[in-house]
């Protein structure tokens, strides 16, 4: 049993040895979500359920489980407010077995759970339904620090600055999180913790630059679907999107930093193709439910406008790669391209930075070092500043503003034409 709490959403995961069926319904007075698990008995992790719920969780007051029938366990989540709930199953993926996932997100102030909604899934041995999309709500939760020296997120600076029409927003995406730990190093270092530590350092550095604002896509240890990461960046009106990762390979001698952009025509190398598949499979590991078929149609239409964004992304990636080459060995001397789902923002230049190989013992030690994390963050910032200084573009809605550090708000020139 795993509980991933956050101020804006909460996830409860039950991992089982075999496929599990379930039934759910909601009750009022008090607000409750009830989950029945046929074919199970209490004991083990179920007995730890109440202890797993933090007293300050904004959605769940308490939880309990009991033997409702001889062959049915009932789980009851008492709620603080009306919620939008998703309960679904995920087949085995990565290091995980069968999972029952409960996602909770707050509803609007007028929402009500008065009308019970019953959802059922076939029991063990029967055909499982297709996966479906987890709620789009982006949670925020504190991460258990990897090291005491890890940088904590600072309060966001005001979005207004009298010297500028607006601040250039950099969306900083710490790869993986929650149910998806990412890669693991030989000594046990976990990618999701490294990426968040570097992302926090990068945000602090970006916020220290005149005219720039850093925003963390993932602020704590929780899972966000790949599509949800790009949606979060778009909601923030980000000018650039930087996804931070730590590379992995089956051989421990693979080493070096890489920077990737989206490819529309296949990966630039076999290794890039392998890496893109591994990262895109994160949704399978984290547990995503896909039930909106029109999403694929919308994505296809958006892909038609992707070319200009990719060209801007290549420029940004080239500058970041050059800066990384000053502090670390490069795995490839040129920017690579692959079909990373997290980079498919047609209107935001987007890059994916593989800081080093966490599966390489020497590079794993460097990734765990706060001083090296800071060097990596500074290198990424250096590349961003070089790109912005050489690519003046649109300040919303139509005025270009030069910054004190010769950095200008970033946007595709095609977006300028579209705005006019």
For 168-419, give the CATH class.
alpha beta
Third-level CATH fold of 2-121: Immunoglobulin-like (2.60.40)
What is the band of 283 on the pLDDT scale with cuts at 50, 70, 90? very low
Q: Could you tell me if 408 and 388 are in contact, meaning their C-beta atoms sit under 8 angstroms apart?
A: yes
Q: Report pLDDT for 260.
A: 92
Q: Report pLDDT for 382.
A: 96
What is the band of 118 on the pLDDT scale with cuts at 50, 70, 90? very low
Alpha carbon of 197 to those of 90, 244, 369, 371: distances in Å? 29, 10, 10, 11
Q: Report pLDDT for 58.
A: 84
Among 111-120, 193-202, 267-276, the least confident range? 111-120
Cα 212 from Cα 14, distance rounded (Å): 42
How many residues does this entry show for the chain?
Answer: 420
pLDDT at 119 > cutoff 80: no
Among 83-97, 179-193, 254-268, 323-337, the least confident range? 254-268
Q: Report pLDDT for 385.
A: 95
Cα 279 from Cα 271, distance rounded (Å): 12
Specify the higher pLDDT residue, 400 or 183.
183
Q: Report pLDDT for 306.
A: 63
Q: Which two tokens stand for residue 238?
A: 């980000």
pLDDT at 83 > cutoff 80: yes
pLDDT at 320 > cutoff 60: yes
Q: Which two tokens stand for residue 419?
A: 């705005």
What's the CA angle centered on 329, arms 323 and 330, to 5 degrees?
70
pLDDT at 65 > cutoff 80: yes
pLDDT at 211 > cutoff 60: yes
What is the band of 259 on the pLDDT scale with cuts at 50, 70, 90? very high
Among 294-303, 344-353, 357-366, the least confident range? 294-303
Cα 201 from Cα 180, distance rounded (Å): 22
Specify the higher pLDDT residue, 314 or 341.
314
pLDDT at 30 > cutoff 80: yes
Tens digit of pLDDT for each residue in 367-398? 999 999 999 999 999 999 999 998 865 544 43
Cα 308 from Cα 317, distance rounded (Å): 14
Q: Report pLDDT for 413.
A: 39
What is the band of 277 on the pLDDT scale with cuts at 50, 70, 90? low
Whole-number average pLDDT of the chain: 74
The set of residues, in sequence order, having a beta carbon less than 8 Å from that of 32 and lying 6+ positions away, is: 26, 76, 77, 78, 79
The percent of residues above 70 in pLDDT, for the chain, comes to: 68
Domain ranges of the chain: 2-121, 168-419
Q: Could you tell me if 24 and 118 are in contact, meaning their C-beta atoms sit under 8 angstroms apart?
A: yes
Strand partners, 12: 3, 102
Q: Report pLDDT for 392.
A: 61
Among 63-67, 205-209, 361-365, the least confident range? 63-67
Q: Report pLDDT for 288.
A: 53
Tens digit of pLDDT for each residue in 155-189? 344 445 556 667 899 999 999 888 888 899 999 99
pLDDT at 324 > cutoff 90: yes
Q: Report pLDDT for 107.
A: 80
Specify the higher pLDDT residue, 289 or 48.
48
Q: Report pLDDT for 305.
A: 52
What is the band of 299 on the pLDDT scale with cuts at 50, 70, 90? low
Smallest CA-to-CA distance from 194 within 212, 221, 154 is with 221
Smallest CA-to-CA distance from 46 within 55, 54, 56, 36 is with 36
Q: Report pLDDT for 74.
A: 92
One-letter-per-residue 3-state SS of the chain? CEEECCCCCEEEEEEECCCCCEEEEEECCCCEEEEEEECCCCCHHHHHHHHHCCCCCCCEEEEEEEEEECCEEEEEEEECCCEEEEEEEECCECCECEEEEEEEEECCCCCCCCCCCCEEECCCCCCCCCCCCCCCCCCCCCCCCCCCCCCCCCCCCCCCECCECCCEEEEEEECCECCECCCECCCCCEHHHHHHHHHHHHHHHHHCCCCEEEEECCCCCCCCCHHHHHHHHHHCCCCEEEEEEEECCCCCCCCCEEEEEECCCCCCCHHHHHHHHHHHCHHHHHCCCCCCCHHHHHHHHHHCCHHHHHHHHHHHHHHHHHHHCCCCCECCCCCEEECCHHHCCCCCCEEEEEEEECCCHHHHHHHCCHHHHHHHHHHHHHHHHHHHHHCCCCCCCCCCCCCCCCCCCCCCHHHHHHHC
Q: Could you tell me if 343 and 205 are in contact, meaning their C-beta atoms sit under 8 angstroms apart?
A: no
pLDDT at 291 > cutoff 60: no
Q: Report pLDDT for 293.
A: 45
- Segment 267-272 shows an average pLDDT of 48
Tens digit of pLDDT for each residue in 125-164? 333 333 333 333 333 223 223 332 333 334 344 445 556 6
């Amino acid at each position: 049993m795993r509980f991933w709490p956050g101020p804006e959403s909460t996830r409860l995961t039950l991992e089982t040895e075999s496929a599990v069926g379930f039934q759910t319904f909601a009750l009022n007075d008090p607000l409750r979500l009830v989950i029945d698990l046929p074919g199970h008995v209490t004991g083990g992790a179920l007995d730890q359920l109440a202890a797993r719920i933090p007293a300050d969780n904004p959605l769940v007051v308490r939880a309990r489980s009991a033997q409702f029938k001889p062959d049915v366990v009932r789980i009851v989540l008492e709620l603080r407010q009306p919620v939008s709930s998703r309960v679904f199953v995920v087949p085995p993926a990565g290091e995980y077995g069968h999972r029952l996932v409960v996602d909770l997100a707050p509803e609007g102030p007028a929402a009500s759970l008065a009308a019970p909604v019953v959802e059922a899934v076939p029991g063990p041995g029967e055909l499982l339904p297709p996966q479906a999309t987890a709620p789009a709500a982006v949670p925020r939760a504190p991460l258990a620090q990897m090291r005491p020296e890890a940088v904590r997120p600072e309060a966001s600076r005001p979005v207004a600055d009298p010297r500028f029409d607006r601040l250039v927003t950099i969306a900083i995406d710490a790869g993986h999180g929650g149910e998806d730990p990412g890669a693991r190093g030989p000594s046990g270092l976990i990618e999701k913790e490294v990426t968040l530590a570097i992302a926090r350092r990068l945000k602090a550095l970006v916020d220290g630059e005149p005219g720039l604002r850093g925003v963390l896509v993932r602020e704590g240890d929780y899972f966000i679907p790949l599509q949800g990461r790009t949606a979060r960046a778009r909601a923030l009106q980000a000018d650039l999107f930087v996804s931070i990762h730590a590379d992995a390979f089956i051989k421990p001698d693979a080493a070096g930093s890489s920077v990737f952009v989206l490819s529309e025509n296949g990966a630039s190398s076999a290794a890039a193709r392998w890496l893109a598949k591994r990262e895109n499979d994160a949704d399978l590991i984290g547990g995503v439910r896909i039930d909106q078929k029109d999403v694929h149609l919308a994505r296809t239409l958006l892909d038609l406008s992707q070319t200009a964004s990719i060209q801007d992304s290549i420029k940004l990636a080239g500058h970041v790669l050059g800066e990384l080459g000053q502090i670390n060995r490069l795995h490839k001397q040129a920017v690579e391209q692959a079909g990373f789902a997290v980079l498919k923002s047609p209107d935001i230049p987007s890059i994916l930075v593989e800081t080093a190989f966490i599966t390489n013992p020497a590079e794993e030690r460097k990734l765990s070092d706060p001083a090296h994390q800071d060097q990596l963050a500074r290198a990424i910032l250096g590349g961003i500043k070089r790109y912005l200084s050489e690519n003046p573009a649109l300040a919303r809605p139509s005025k270009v503003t030069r910054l004190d550090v010769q950095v200008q708000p970033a946007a595709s020139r095609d977006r300028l034409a579209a705005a006019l």
